[in-house]
Structure 1
Amino acid sequence: MRASDILDPNSQIGVKLRSLYAAVQEEAIPERFLDLLEKLDQAELVASAKAAK
C-alpha cells in the first residue's frame, strides 16, 4: 500500500496541488508576458512623471 492510498481526500488534493504548483514554478515566463510587464512599467513611469509636474 502506498502512502498516498492511506491519505484522506483533502490530503490527496493537497499533494496534487503541491505537485502542480511545483511544475508551474519550473515553467519559463513567456517573452510576450515579460514585454507586457515592461510596457506597464514604462506607462507607470510616464504617468507618475506627468502627475509630478
Structure 2
Amino acid sequence: MTFVPLNPIPLKDRTSMIFLQYGQIDVLDGAFVLIDKTGVRTHIPVGSVAC
C-alpha cells in the first residue's frame, strides 16, 4: 500500500452540505438564519457560500 501524505484541502475545493427542514431561510446582517414554525431563529454559521 502506498503512503499518501495528508495536506490541507484548499477552501475552494471543499464542499459543505447543510440540510434544513421545516423552516424558512432569512438573511440577517449578512448571516443565514433559519426560522422555524414557532418563530425561533437559529443562526447558521457560514464562512463562504457559493450559489
What TM-score comes out, normalization by structure 1 length? 0.29
- What is the TM-score normalised by the length of structure 2? 0.29
The structure with more strand, counted as a fraction of residues = 2
Greater helix proportion: 1
Greater C-alpha radius of gyration = 1
